[in-house]
Amino acid sequence: MAVEPDQRASSCGPQLENRRVICLPVGADTVGLLGHTLSSLLRNSSPDVEIVVLPLGIEQAQLQAVMRERAEAKPVVLADTVVGDSLWQALLFGIPPAYRNHDLVLVRPGLAVPKGWDDRLALAAYGQEPGIAAVVPLCDSTALFALLEGNDSERTALEAVDNVLLTLGQRHNFEMPALFSGCCYLRRAALRDIEPHWHDMAWEEAPVSLAQRFREQGWHVVCCDHVYVQDRDGQRRRLEMQGVEQLEETRQIEQAHPLTGLRFAVGDILRRGVMKDSAPSMPRPVQLHIAHSWGGGLNRWVQQYCEHDRERDNLVLRSIGTWGAFGQRIALYRSAHMDQPLRYWDLTYPIRATAIAHLKYRMILEEVIADFRIEVILISSLIGHALDALATGLPTIFVAHDYYPFCPAVVIQFGEVCEQCELPRLTRCFAENEQNRFFRNVTAHEWLSLRQRFVDLVNHRQTAFVAPSESVARYWRTLLPAAFDEERFTVIPHGVDFAPDKLPSPPAHDKLRVVILGSLAPQKGRALLETIWPSVMDRVELYLIGCDEDGAIFDGKPGMTVMQRYNHAELANIMADIQPELGVLLSIWPETFSYTLSELWLFGIPVLATAMGSFADRIEEGTNGFLCPPQAEAIADKLRWIAAHRDCLHAPRAWLAHFHHRRIDDMVADYHALTPLPAFAAPRYFAASPALAPLPNANTPARVVYIDVQAPFSQALEEFGHYAGQKLAATPRLRTWQKRWLRAILGYGLRGAKALATLRRRK
C-alpha cells in the first residue's frame, strides 16, 4: 500500500491543518441553479475556505453576472473554462494550479448545505478513523445515501433536518462502495495515490471506479451520518447514480442499511414536529490554564479570566509542593478556585523547579487533554511543571506574568535589573542573590540547560507570547534574543473587575498620609522602606495595608499603622477611613503589570512608584502620578518634596477622576483572538457527553478536608481550630470534662504551632 502512516493518521486537534478548496462545476444546463447553491455556500461554509467555480464547456461571461450578484461576503474564484463534459475530469484536472495540493470539496449546482458543512466533512475525513479517502454527506437524491422519504424530503427545511442530526447523530462513518456525484470531500493524499491509474479510469462510471481505486490503495470511502444536504436537481443525480444503485454491494448494504435506525428516528421527530427551530447547543471549547499554587497577582489573573470567559470553559492545572520540590502533586481544578480537585496525581519523582522533561507529567497532560477535550493551553507559570507543557501540539499561549523560567529568581533582579545572565553571573546569583531564594537545590548549569530547552521548544512550536505591558516584552527580548524578536510578543494589558467609588479629595493633614498597599516581600521594597522611614517619618504618616508577615517588622514603629491582612470586600471602607493623599509602590524589580497600581488609581489616589517595568509604562510623571529611581535617598527626597508641595497632587487627582480601567471581558476577547477556534472542532464535535461531568476520578482517594494551599499556614490553623472546637462542642460521644480538656489541649497546641510558624529570623 502506498499510503504513508502520517497521511492516514486521525487528528484530534481543534483545527485541521489540511487546506481545502470548494469546487463548484457548472455546465450550460445548470447555470440557473448556480445562484441558489452559491448563496448557500457563502452563508454556510468556513470563512477561510475559498470557492472556485469551474465552467464546464461554457464561457466565463455566462457565470459572471450570477457571481457578482451573490459573492458579496467573500470573493469567489472563477476558473478557466474546462473543455469536455466529464464532471470528474474537470474536477481533477481543471482546478487552477494554486489548488493542486488542496483537498477538494465537490458540490454541484442545485445543492444547499447546512452551517459548517465543509468543516464537518473535513472532521469526518480526519477526526475519527484513519485512512479515509472520501466522505459523502447524506442526500435524498440517491437511495444509498438518503435520510428522508420523498414527502418528508420535499417539505422539510434543511435547517430543521440539520438540527435533528446534530442532536441525534452519533458522528459515525459508514463504509460505502461509491462516491456521491452531487457532493463529496476528497483528500489530496488519497488522490495522489491513485493518480498513476487515472489514464485507465472509466470516467463515465467515476463514482464507482474512483472508490474502487481508493480501496485498492488501502483507503476508504465513507458516508457520514451527521451532514445532510438538499438537492433541487435530484432527478439528474438519480440518473447519474443509477450504476451505483445496481451494484451488488449496494443491494447487500440495503438489506441491513446502517442508517435505518437514524432514518426512522429523524423522520418520526420531523413528522411529529417536536424539535425546536433553534440549533442544539454544542459543547463549548475547553482551555487549560497551567499555573502554580502560590497565589498573588498570577492567581488573581487566572481567577478573573475564568470567571469572565463566557465563550470557553476553563480548567486549571496546578502544581502543589513545598520548598525544594514545588511539583510534588499536580491537581486539576474546575476553575481557579482551589476546592476539591477534579483529579490529582502525586509525582513519585517530584519536580524541584521545572523539569526539562518528565514522563509522568507528560502522561498527566495527555490524559487531561484527551479526557477533557482541551483545545487551547494558557501557561501562566511553569513552576512545578515540566516543559512538556510547551510541546502538546495544541495552540498555546505563554503569559509572561514574570521572567520565569529564564530567571531562577523570577524577578530579574541581582543588585540591579539584569540585562544579561551568562554562566558566571548566574553562578554568583545562586550563591549571593537574596532574591534567588526559591530553587536552592538547582545548579546554574542545570538552569542553563532548562533555558536552552525552553528556547528550542518555543522556536519550533507555534507558541504565542503575551506581555501585560511593553517593558515585559522588551526585557524578554533583551535576555533571550535567540527566542524573541520584535514581533513575537503581543501586549495585552490585564483587566480588572474592581470598580469602587472614587474617594473624595482628602482633607489637609499635618503629615502627608501615605498608603502602601499589598505585599512587602523583599522584591516589593521592604529594605528600601526600612532605610527611607527614619528620614521621612516627621513629614509622613504611613499605612501598610495587606503587607502580610513581611510587614511585621514595622509594627509599632512611630507614625506607622500596620494591617497585615484584610478582606478585599472591605478595602473601600479601609481606604475611606485612612483618607490617603498618596500611594507608594517600592518594587525593586520591573513589575509586569501591578494590580495594586490599578486599585489605587481606581480609588483616585495618585501614586509614587519606582521608575521601572510597568510602573514606567503606565505612569506619566506629574500627569497621573510620580516616578523615582529605586534608591532610598531619591525616594525620601521625593516624599519630602510632595509633603511640602501638596498642590502637585491636584493634576493627578483630576486625571484619575476620569480614569476607567480596562475591562476583563476585553482582555479575554484579546486572548481569544490569538487562538481562534472553528465553530466545529473534533474535540467538541465528536464528544459523546459533556467533558465536565461533576464526578471525581475513580482513582482519586476520598478526602475529608480540602485545604486551599494558597492560604497562609496561620489562617489554616485558625480555621481548623474553629472547626475542631465546633465539632467537640457538638459531639454527644464525649462527656463534659473530656470536651473541656480536649479544647484546652487543642487551644494550647494551635497557639504554639502558630507562634512557631510566625517566628522570623532577621539577618
Q: What digits encode the pLDDT tens for the residues 393-440?
A: 999 999 999 999 999 999 999 999 999 999 999 999 999 999 999 999
Reply yes or no on whether the pLDDT at 12 is more than 70: no
Query: What grid cell was written down for 573?
Result: 471602607
In a domain, 296, yes or no: yes
Confidence band of 214 (pLDDT split at 50, 70, 90): very high
Which among 304, 328, 305 is positioned nearest to 318, based on CA atoms?
328
The average confidence (pLDDT) of the chain is 88
For residue 394, the model assigns a pLDDT of 95
Asked which of 51-65, 176-190, 588-602, 712-726 is least confident by mean pLDDT, the reply is 712-726
Reply yes or no on whether the pLDDT at 693 is more than 50: no
For residue 15, the model assigns a pLDDT of 41
116: left (phi over 0), alpha (psi -120 to 50) or beta: left
Show which of 272, 295, 320 is a domain's final residue.
Answer: 272
Confidence band of 718 (pLDDT split at 50, 70, 90): confident
Domain ranges, residue 418: 286-491
Are 264 and 293 found together in one domain? no
For residue 723, the model assigns a pLDDT of 62
Burial class (CB in 10 A: 0-12, 13-18, 19+), 362: middle
List all residues 6 or more positions away from 412 whose beta carbon is below 8 Å from its beta carbon. Answer: 403, 406, 418, 421, 475, 479, 589, 590
For residue 39, the model assigns a pLDDT of 92
Place of cell 519606582: 610
Task: Tally Cβ neighbours within 10 Å of residue 502.
Answer: 15
Reply yes or no on whether the pLDDT at 64 is more than 90: no
Reply yes or no on whether the pLDDT at 248 is more than 80: yes
Are 380 and 423 found together in one domain? yes
For residue 526, the model assigns a pLDDT of 94
In a domain, 179, yes or no: yes
Cα 636 to Cα 72, 513, 525, 642: the distances in Å are: 65, 14, 13, 10
Total domain count, the chain:
4
H helix or E strand, kind and range, residue 348: strand 343-351
Q: Please say whether the dihedral angle defined by the alpha carbons of residues 370, 371, 376 and 381, taken in this order, is positive or negative.
A: negative
390 DSSP assignment? G
Show which of 247, 272, 297 is a domain's final residue.
Answer: 272
User: Taking residues 293-309, what's their average pLDDT?
Assistant: 94
CA distance 73 to 70: 8
CA distance 31 to 55: 9
In a domain, 371, yes or no: yes
Query: What three-state secondary structure class fits 519?
Result: coil
% of the chain surpassing 90 pLDDT:
66
Residue 267 near residue 228 (C-beta atoms within 8 A): no
Are 61 and 189 found together in one domain? yes
HSE at residue 698, side-chain half, CA atoms within 13 A, is: 0
- What percent of the chain is helix, strand and coil (3-state, nearest 5)? 40, 20, 40
Residue 190 near residue 134 (C-beta atoms within 8 A): yes
Are 95 and 239 found together in one domain? yes
Show which of 226, 249, 272 is a domain's final residue.
Answer: 272
In a domain, 298, yes or no: yes
In a domain, 362, yes or no: yes
Q: Between β-strands 325-333 and 343-351, what pairing exists: parallel, antiparallel or unpaired?
A: antiparallel
For residue 279, the model assigns a pLDDT of 65
For residue 650, the model assigns a pLDDT of 95
For residue 454, the model assigns a pLDDT of 96
Reply yes or no on whether the pLDDT at 18 is more than 60: yes
Are 458 and 528 found together in one domain? no
For the stretch 33-53, pLDDT in tens is 999 999 999 999 998 899 999
Are 529 and 418 found together in one domain? no
Cα 307 to Cα 288, 297, 673: the distances in Å are: 14, 15, 18
Are 236 and 314 found together in one domain? no
In a domain, 699, yes or no: no
Reply yes or no on whether the pLDDT at 192 is more than 90: yes
% of the chain surpassing 70 pLDDT:
89
Are 320 and 265 found together in one domain? no
For the stretch 77-95, pLDDT in tens is 999 988 866 788 888 888 9
HEC-encoded secondary structure of 288-343: EEEECCCCHHHHHHHHHHHHHCCCCEEEEEEEEEECCEEEEEEEEECCCCCCCCCE
**b/e per residue, 615-630, with b = 16+ CB within 10 A?**
bbbbbeeeebbbbbeb
Burial class (CB in 10 A: 0-12, 13-18, 19+), 260: exposed
CA distance 75 to 49: 10
Are 38 and 74 found together in one domain? yes
Query: What three-state secondary structure class fits 349?
Result: strand
Are 417 and 387 found together in one domain? yes
Are 194 and 239 found together in one domain? yes
For the stretch 541-594, pLDDT in tens is 999 999 988 899 999 899 999 999 999 999 999 999 999 999 999 999 999 999
CA distance 84 to 360: 61
Place of cell 545562586: 430
H helix or E strand, kind and range, residue 669: helix 664-674
663 DSSP assignment? B
For residue 496, the model assigns a pLDDT of 95
User: Taking residues 740-748, what's their average pLDDT?
Assistant: 77
Query: What grid cell was written down for 158?
Result: 434543511
Query: What three-state secondary structure class fits 401?
Result: coil
For the stretch 93-131, pLDDT in tens is 889 999 999 999 999 999 999 999 999 999 999 987 889
In a domain, 242, yes or no: yes
CATH, residue 35: 3.90.550.10
CATH, residue 595: 3.40.50.2000
Task: Tally Cβ neighbours within 10 Å of residue 273.
Answer: 7
For residue 431, the model assigns a pLDDT of 95
What's the first-to-final CA gap in the chain, in angstroms? 73
In a domain, 278, yes or no: no
Are 300 and 440 found together in one domain? yes
The number of residues making up the chain comes to 763
Reply yes or no on whether the pLDDT at 242 is more than 80: yes
For the stretch 257-291, pLDDT in tens is 999 999 998 888 888 876 655 666 778 999 999 99
Reply yes or no on whether the pLDDT at 220 is more than 80: yes
For residue 422, the model assigns a pLDDT of 95
User: Taking residues 730-736, what's their average pLDDT?
Assistant: 65
Reply yes or no on whether the pLDDT at 24 is more than 70: yes
CA distance 286 to 395: 12
Asked which of 77-81, 350-354, 384-388, 407-411 is least confident by mean pLDDT, the reply is 77-81
CATH, residue 370: 3.40.50
For the stretch 309-347, pLDDT in tens is 999 999 999 999 998 999 999 999 998 888 889 999 999
CA distance 206 to 370: 39
List all residues 6 or more positions away from 441 whose beta carbon is below 8 Å from its beta carbon. Answer: 324, 352
pTM across the whole model: 0.83
For residue 350, the model assigns a pLDDT of 96
Reply yes or no on whether the pLDDT at 720 is more than 90: no
CA distance 659 to 664: 16
Confidence band of 13 (pLDDT split at 50, 70, 90): very low
